[in-house]
Amino acid sequence: MRALLVANAVDADAGFVGDRFRAHGYAFTECHRESPGEWPALDGHDLVLTLGSEWSVYWTDIEREVAAETSLVCAARARGVPVFGICYGAQLLAHAFGGAVRRSTTPEIGWYEVDSEIPDVIATGPWLQWHYDVVDVPPGATQLAVSPVGPQAFCVERVVATQFHPEATETMLRRWSAGSGGEELRRSGSSPEELLEQTRVAVLTSAPAAGRIVDWFLETTG
């Protein structure tokens, strides 16, 4: 089985989520957002996984890239190909299907609890968050989890989206915390050292919890 993995070229690590999909027999075809003209056809792929990004879907200088990914996920939905979106991927799905994405007054950066409608599937956390935007879920979608800032997960037909990062590993967060990421953490009142200390504990529960979401996603969309 093959899955299209849509991500930025510098950050195409699907972490715990990718590991679980591979355990179910999926192999990934990597699609870089910066080069949509090089993406393979959706034909022959059984699933789309769209990851997070430093981008926001409303940035005017990435309209071409947003349009290409919107076209891809709309085609997948029309064909009944399951789609799983994470953070920016979730925002792209909301945008593509008639929801809205806007700048949040309260960024979420760090490990947070969420209120889950299906806690046996989407645990209450803690989950890694790193974003400055908030979504309005698209028409017809079911909200599955929420935080005080806004929706944290939703589903519509064979599409599932999480605003939080179930894929996040310690290795990934070491990379995100370097350079400008460290400055973001300090502006939010944290630090790379504090985040990594929290991560070493949090991934003990978030890793198996991520696996449960993937298992449920495949069971409900298969």
Q: Which residues are catalytic?
A: 87, 165, 167
Greatest CA separation found in the chain? 46
Question: For residue 222, is pLDDT > 90?
Answer: no
Q: Would you say 68 and 103 are in contact if contact means Cβ atoms under 8 Å apart?
A: no
Mean pLDDT along residues 114-130 = 98
From CA 164, how far away is CA 137, in angstroms rounded?
A: 14
Question: Whole-model pTM?
Answer: 0.96
pLDDT for residue 60 is more than 90? yes
* % pLDDT > 90, the chain: 98
Q: Cα–Cα distance between 99 and 93 in angstroms, integer?
A: 8
CA 9-108-47 angle, to 5 degrees, is 45
Tell me how far apart the terminal alpha carbons of the chain are, to the nearest angstrom.
12
Please say whether the beta carbons of 92 and 85 come within 8 A.
yes
Second CATH level (architecture) for the domain 2-169+206-221: 3-Layer(aba) Sandwich (3.40)
pLDDT of residue 203: 98
- In the chain, what are the domain boundaries? 2-169+206-221
> Collapsing DSSP states into helix, strand and coil, what is residue 69?
helix
| C-beta separation of 8 from 175 below 8 A | no
pLDDT reading at 177 higher than 90 = yes
